Structure 1
Amino acid sequence: MRGRPAISIKRLLRRGGALSAIAIMLGSLSITQGATADTLVHVSEGGNGTYLALGDSVAFGYTPPAVTTLAQYENPNNFVSYANYVASSLNLKLTNASCPGETTLSMIDPLAISNGCENSLGQPPGYRTYFPLHVQYSGSQLAYAVGYLKSHPHTRLVTIDIGANDAFVCQAITEDFCTSPSEFKAVLDSVSTNLATIYSAIRNQAHYHHALVALDYYSTSYTNQAQVALTEALNSAIIQPTLAAGGLVANGFSAFEVASQSYGGNPCAAGLLIKLPTGRCNIHPTLLGHQVLAQAVIGALAGHHSQ
């Protein structure tokens, strides 16, 4: 997935029939809405199931300044993501700790370089400085997650999407836009290592041993083979530690690919990505895109349950 490097919050503040194929695919989402968390994620008897969403701007439901007013950023309820659709479908109470611009390392250490969450390429400020998240916490997202899971033993689902901002940071701080194979490999190795640390904390410190689902990344173009290859490489770095931690992988990549087939492999034309006033699309999903991603998460859970 190709995106812009981090931008400073100051710059941010200055910025002011055809869907039938997708509707058919999303028809399966309406079917799984009849399923409950009890059948898909095994909510314990006598307890209300809760769901913790972790990750970056995709999990947050972020929308860019070109289509979002300053007042809208002040209210996190304006931002809806796949996590909301998953929670609604499974009748789970959602807590969403995600942060736009989070990297795998800044999720662990809030002082580490991020792509706009705690800081912008290591320099203050970040999104958290000016705008509220869905839930408020002072330390790292991972520390919050561990504390939350310890204090909410009825949590039966954790989802995470993280890693793309690691690549965006590399693009921003390298002269060749992170096109060197050695530079990109270092990003992939870092993503895998940091994810293993994150999963270890969730499993061993928080002692959470229920459904853990990583949503992998979609491509913004399925006809750009270079972009597809880079996205698949990033996803491989995500998949390996997820499976090693006993987690499931929701195939966001294939979900967007299928939903874009009738549009020449173009998620923008398919209405899955936010259209800008220029006519081009931002990298972030529309509500329709988030519904497609939610179906990928629910599908991963359903596939595991049926085995």
Structure 2
Amino acid sequence: MAPVPSRSRRLLVAAAAVAALAASAVVAAPAFASGSHHPAHHPAHHRVHPVRPGSSYLALGDSVSFGYREPANLPTPDYPDASTFVGFPENVGSALGLRVANASCPGETSGSLVSASELSYACRLTPTGTDGYRTKFPLHVGYAGTQLQYARSFLARHRNTDLVTLMIGANDGFLCQATTTDQCASELPGVLAKISANVRTILGTLRQQEHYRGQIVIVNYYSTDYRSAVQNGSSQALNTAMDTAAKPFDVTVADGYATFQKAAAQAGGDTCAAGLLTTLTTGGCGVHPSVGGQALLALAVEKAIRR
């Protein structure tokens, strides 16, 4: 995810009904029922070893994995110092004693994660032609190419990597909305199909080209408001696109959707009021997890890891 104007969020939510209806046709599977944990094991998955303390952990994704906070969130974010941003990968690494390489970038799309010629929403090459986040501010780890190129190089150099997480796709919707005349209402099925194709490319590269045999966890997106059936449908459609594409690659799924849903129930399903999202000085909440929200995502990842 990346900074998104409130009007943009409303427009995407309005279009999300199409995504929810199209998801089963696009990725050949219905949306997973909320509240369930759904390991996406390959039928003949290899025997994996536990995630060992001292081993390496590679995190791939967008602003959620990065730990991004909006400018109006307090304390005021120090963008020139990446270490001040703490996402769920840092929490998982601390809990399990792992060496974390968090390659995520705010505004990354599934396409820009794979190819430097693909547009991001706000990471590098943007639809307005302006410089993205990583051209202005440092990431948690430095690299010149794409996240996927970094991942390949990292795995080649760190054979003791026991864990990889991937959370990507939300910015594909925001990018589509920003570059189409109907705010992506008619293009969403194609967007979901592209997310699935890119997830297959990412995981196929790791498994088949780099021969990575450690654990891979797909991290599902939460709903920014569980009171909204349309917003829920949007998140579930995105998660379905990721999960179904990832299934043949021997992965497990961290159910961020259900984890946030349970926590939001204390506030009647209001994710913001439950304290799971960043609080803004301008009023209301952003779309990124709060400190507590990041901690919950970390717990979901830890639960998904095979012991």
Q: TM-score normalized by structure 2? A: 0.82
- Which residue matches 2:252? 248
Conserved in 1, the CA contact under 8 Å of 2:2 and 2:107?
no
Conserved in 1, the CA contact under 8 Å of 2:54 and 2:97?
no
Give 1:67 deviation, angstroms: 2.5
- Which residue matches 1:19? none
The 5-angstrom pairing of residues 57-206 of structure 1 reads 57-67=63-73, 72-121=78-127, 123-180=129-186, 183-206=187-210
Give the AA of the match of 2:153: G
Q: Deviations over 1:261-306 (max 9, x none)?
A: 01010111011100111221000011100001011101111xx43x
What count of residue pairs does the alignment treat as equivalent? Answer: 266
Aligned-residue Cα RMSD (Å) equals 2.1
Deviating beyond 3 angstroms after TM superposition, the runs of 4 or more aligned structure 1 residues are 68-71
Conserved in 2, the CA contact under 8 Å of 1:50 and 1:92?
yes
Change (3 A) 1:2 1:127: closer
Q: Deviations over 1:144-170 (max 9, x none)?
A: 001000110000000111000001111
Conserved in 1, the CA contact under 8 Å of 2:64 and 2:106?
yes
Give the AA of the match of 2:203: Y
- Distance, in Å, in 2 between the alignment partners of 1:86 and 1:126 is 27
Q: Deviations over 1:64-111 (max 9, x none)?
A: 122268871000001001111111111111111000000001001122
- Which residue matches 1:264? 268
Give 1:205 deviation, angstroms: 1.9
Give 1:119 deviation, angstroms: 2.2
- Which residue matches 1:35? none
Change (3 A) 1:287 1:193: same
Conserved in 2, the CA contact under 8 Å of 1:2 and 1:220?
no
Give 1 or 2: higher helix fraction. Answer: 1
- Distance, in Å, in 2 between the alignment partners of 1:40 and 1:274 is 36
- Distance, in Å, in 1 between the alignment partners of 2:280 and 2:51 is 41
- Which residue matches 1:26? none
- Which residue matches 1:226? 230
Conserved in 1, the CA contact under 8 Å of 2:72 and 2:282?
no
Matched, 1:281 2:290: no
Conserved in 2, the CA contact under 8 Å of 1:5 and 1:172?
no
Change (3 A) 1:55 1:2: closer
Which of 288, 291, 294 matches 2:298?
294
Conserved in 2, the CA contact under 8 Å of 1:157 and 1:212?
yes
- Distance, in Å, in 2 between the alignment partners of 1:119 and 1:196 is 22
- Distance, in Å, in 1 between the alignment partners of 2:5 and 2:195 is 18
SS in 2 for 1:72: coil
The higher-RCO structure (CA 8 Å, 6+ apart) is: 2
- Distance, in Å, in 2 between the alignment partners of 1:69 and 1:119 is 28
- Distance, in Å, in 2 between the alignment partners of 1:159 and 1:61 is 14
Change (3 A) 1:293 1:75: same
Give 1:5 deviation, angstroms: 6.4
Change (3 A) 1:293 1:209: same
Conserved in 2, the CA contact under 8 Å of 1:53 and 1:158?
yes
Conserved in 2, the CA contact under 8 Å of 1:41 and 1:157?
no
SS in 2 for 1:58: helix
Deviates more, 1:66-75 or 1:213-222: 66-75
Q: TM-score normalized by structure 1? A: 0.82
